[in-house]
Amino acid sequence: MLADLLGIPPQLLFGQLLLGLISGAFYAVLSLGLAVIFGMLNIVNFAHGALYMLGAFASYFLLKILGINYWGALILAPIIVGAAGIVIERFLLRRLAGVDHLYGLLLTFGLALVIEGLFVKFFGASGLPYPTPEALKGGVNLGFMFVPWYRAWVVVAAVIVCVFTWWLFERTKVGAYLRAGTENPTLLQAFGVNVPLLTTLAYGYGVALAGLAGVLAAPITQVAPLMGSNLIITVFAVVVIGGMGSIMGAAVTGLAMGMIEGLTKVFWPEASATVIFVIMAIVLVIRPAGLFGRTA
Amino acid sequence: MKMLKTLAAGVSALALTVGAAQAQISDGVVKIGVLTDMAATYSDLAGSGAVAAAEMAVADFGGTVAGAPIEILTADHQNKADIAANKAREWFENENVDSLAELVTTSVALAVFEIAKQQNKIALVSGAASSPLTNDACIPTGIHYTYNTRALAVGTGSAVVKEGGDSWYFLTANYAFGEALQRDVSAVVEAEGGTVLGASKHPFPSSDFSSFVLQAQASGAKVVGLANAGADTTNAIKAANEFGLVASGQSLAALLMFITDVHALGLDTAQGIQLTTGFYWDLNDETRAWSQKFFEKTGTMPTMVQAGVYSSVSHYLKGIEATGSDDTDTVMAWMRANPVNDFFAKGGEIRTDGRMVHDMYLVKVKSPSESKGPWDYYEVLRTIPGEEAYGPLSESTCPTK
């Protein structure tokens, strides 16, 4: 009906919606990490795109040097990236605790430029190829479009990660501690909880999510130093639309924005790079705290 | 005694001529500014490799020309026209730079052309592709050296149509270059009796092409033409493979592809792709010798853009050497009057519209089993004569030709 109305064949419309869901899966996992970090550390983590890229490179090197395949990388690469994140938090971000958000933003932005610059220097901008895992090669023809198994797997993986993260932060004791730590760290510490350790782990987890998204992306795009630099801006817009720090909001908005972007690619491809920012501007005017954010 | 006198006279005469030559070189030094993309999408096909190529040209000249030292300046324009224009103006006005080289990205080259025209300085374009640079947008001091969108269209476009690919759909980078490439290829396709069914203009740069690939599949066109470059092309090819575009009977035409793109994709994915190039390292002994030197310096084989930078800078320096002057009009006149003869081009001619006309090559990417080793990627299918690739001067719409 809608398809007839807009003069677009329904096959194309469904296809684009499905593709939008797939790119939305990446937005969801990445913005989830950002939301966790902002929620727990009050840091606007501009290094997220670079860490996502590190995840992809980690899986590339695991395969090339150690012969560890995709499934191994899916576990190991996020751990490696998470460890890198913990080092960053311990030695750099911790020094900025208590100062204005802007400093954290500048530090992480600078860090991203340095990491990406070094990777361009050593590996070039065109990137390196990463093969699709054997088990997920090929695809299924749904009648209106051909869906590669790998892309379907990405959506499944993203949903699992989102649900797990939500459960971890909203339904477990660790999550309760973390949320309490954001509300009142001093009081929580008085109860004998190691708040700095919690913060470090939260950053490590958020960053590991970026690393995981990098592994998921490796077979789809080139493993390239700048793969995160364009994505990160869009993902920030997603986080702002969803509400900074809202875990549920980040995941749902990620998937929704992917689909809206997918539709724009049919109707007005030139605008597909900007549509999310237009929505962000509108949301900021109507609900400054974001769609799922709690107004302070 | 007499001998000493003769010797003294000889030496002073020599000193005089050297002095005279040096007087013709403005501020006593020849400065060439290499303005390129050092870290983004096009940095592999141009970037530090282009700088290395310019340095090799200077080194092969012995570091001096007409008695004056040669200096290379480099800057990163980040593919942004405003940054490039500001840098070009700064170099011309404050640094007394005599000419600019490389200039990848059409929007950059167009902006720099404006400045070069105002300042009457030479711009040696190697990386930018669009044919308007020697048509409507031409300048008297601009040289478009390595290739252009028309040559790519004539090479790849007509080859594909002749093989039966007579209906086309384009995935086009949404800026001046993508539009120029689509326009030039459409003209060739239609002239050969084919039809163009449509195009999707994608943002530059894009990382996910699945949606555009789906639209191309829905168009039903026999050929999907990629009017983009660098990482956009490699990502589009990956998405096309993943979504079974080729498996379902459509074919893919990469209208601009560099050897670094093939290297990045790997032969498994890239095999069978036909493309047009202005240079390949493994053409003959001369190209192999130069490319080997380049490889030792940079660790990669040269792209046509990088080889073109070497050749264009050398030709420019030869002009200064021969005329003893770095005056723009004098050197331009020499460069036009004398053919380019080096490993890059044989009998290359620089026309009054700024086009350097030289032979191009239609090549096919080898399969992993055909390739004998690293960088052994192309099989040359056809040499396209310069005149055919670039068209006659009478076709050029350059007002100052």
> Mind listing the domains of chain B with CATH numbers?
29-147+284-358 (3.40.50.2300), 150-277+360-390 (3.40.50.2300)
Q: At what angle do helices A173-183 and A10-41 cross, to 10 degrees?
A: 70
| Chain B contact set for A270 (CB, 8 A) | 174, 201, 203
| Chain A contact set for B218 (CB, 8 A) | 9, 11-12, 15
The pLDDT of A61-68, averaged and rounded, is: 94
Which residue in chain A is spatially nearest to B264 when comparing CA positions?
A: A128
pLDDT value, residue B401: 86
| Chain A contact set for B200 (CB, 8 A) | 265, 269
CB contact under 8 A, A15 and B260: no
pLDDT value, residue B19: 43
Which residue in chain A is spatially nearest to B37 when comparing CA positions?
A: A125
Backbone angles phi and psi of B76, in degrees to 5? -100, 115
CB contact under 8 A, B264 and A129: yes
Which residue in chain B is spatially nearest to A149 when comparing CA positions?
A: B242
CB contact under 8 A, A124 and B300: yes
pLDDT at residue B6 above 80? Answer: no
pLDDT at residue B400 above 80? Answer: yes
- The reply to whether A126 touches chain B by the CB within 8 Å rule is yes
Q: How far A48 CA lies from chain B's nearest CA (Å)?
A: 17
At position A103, the amino acid (one-letter code) is: Y
pLDDT category of residue A1 using cuts at 50, 70 and 90: very low
| Chain A contact set for B206 (CB, 8 A) | 273
B181's tokens:
């490439």
Q: What is the number of other CB atoms lying within 10 angstroms of the CB of residue A294?
A: 10
| Chain A contact set for B244 (CB, 8 A) | 139, 146, 148
pLDDT value, residue B201: 92
Q: How far B44 CA lies from chain A's nearest CA (Å)?
A: 6
Q: Provide the 3-class DSSP secondary structure of residue B202.
A: strand
pLDDT category of residue B396 using cuts at 50, 70 and 90: very high
Identify from A265, A275, A276 which residue to disrupt to test chain B contact, counting B C-beta atoms within 10 A and taking the largest count.
Answer: A265
| Chain B contact set for A145 (CB, 8 A) | 214, 217
Cα(B140)–Cα(B168) distance, rounded to whole angstroms?
A: 36
Cα(A80)–Cα(A62) distance, rounded to whole angstroms?
A: 11
B346-350 and B142-144 strand pairing: unpaired
Q: In what order do the strands lie in the sheet with B99-102?
A: B64-65, B68-76, B30-36, B99-102, B122-125, B142-144
The pLDDT of A83-104, averaged and rounded, is: 90
Q: What is the number of other CB atoms lying within 10 angstroms of the CB of residue B160?
A: 25
Instruction: Identify the CA nearest to B252 among candidates B264, B269, B268.
Output: B269
The rounded percent of chain B whose pLDDT value lies above 70 is 94
Residue in A19, A125, A131 closest to B210 by CB: A19
Q: How far B53 CA lies from chain A's nearest CA (Å)?
A: 17
Residue in B47, B210, B265 closest to A129 by CB: B265
Residue in B207, B211, B230 closest to A19 by CB: B211
CB contact under 8 A, B263 and A126: yes
Distance of CA B391 to the CA centre of its chain: 17
Per-residue pLDDT reduced to its tens digit, B142-197:
999 999 999 999 999 999 999 899 999 999 999 999 999 999 999 999 999 999 99
| Chain A contact set for B172 (CB, 8 A) | none
- The radius of gyration computed from the CA coordinates of chain B, to the nearest angstrom, equals 22
- Sequence-separated (6 or more) residues with CB below 8 Å from residue A287: A293
CB contact under 8 A, B47 and A269: no
- Sequence-separated (6 or more) residues with CB below 8 Å from residue B288: B281, B282
Buried b (16+ CB within 10 A) or exposed e, A223-241: bbbbbbbebbebbbbbbbb
CA distances from A167 to A162, A254, B117 (A): 9, 18, 64
Per-residue pLDDT reduced to its tens digit, B305-357:
999 999 999 999 999 999 999 999 999 999 999 999 999 999 999 999 999 99
| Chain A contact set for B45 (CB, 8 A) | 126
Per-residue pLDDT reduced to its tens digit, B31-71:
999 999 998 889 999 999 999 999 999 999 999 999 999 99
The pLDDT of B81-105, averaged and rounded, is: 96
- The radius of gyration computed from the CA coordinates of chain A, to the nearest angstrom, equals 19
What does DSSP assign to residue B153? I
Cα(A41)–Cα(A245) distance, rounded to whole angstroms?
A: 10
| Chain B contact set for A15 (CB, 8 A) | 214, 218
CB contact under 8 A, B44 and A148: no
B332's tokens:
């331009």
Averaged pLDDT of chain A: 88
Cα end-to-end span (Å), chain A: 42
CB contact under 8 A, B243 and A139: yes
ipTM of predicted assembly, 2 dp: 0.80
B185's tokens:
């290829």
- The reply to whether A288 touches chain B by the CB within 8 Å rule is no
Name the least confident of A3-7, A186-190, A284-288: A3-7
Query: In terms of pLDDT, which residue wins out, A123 or B10?
Result: A123
CA distances from B164 to A244, B168, B191, B192 (A): 54, 11, 14, 11
CB contact under 8 A, B230 and A126: yes
| Chain B contact set for A224 (CB, 8 A) | 231
Q: How far A16 CA lies from chain B's nearest CA (Å)?
A: 6
pLDDT value, residue B5: 55
CB contact under 8 A, A125 and B44: yes
pLDDT value, residue B17: 46
CB contact under 8 A, B211 and A221: no
- The reply to whether A227 touches chain B by the CB within 8 Å rule is yes
Averaged pLDDT of chain B: 92
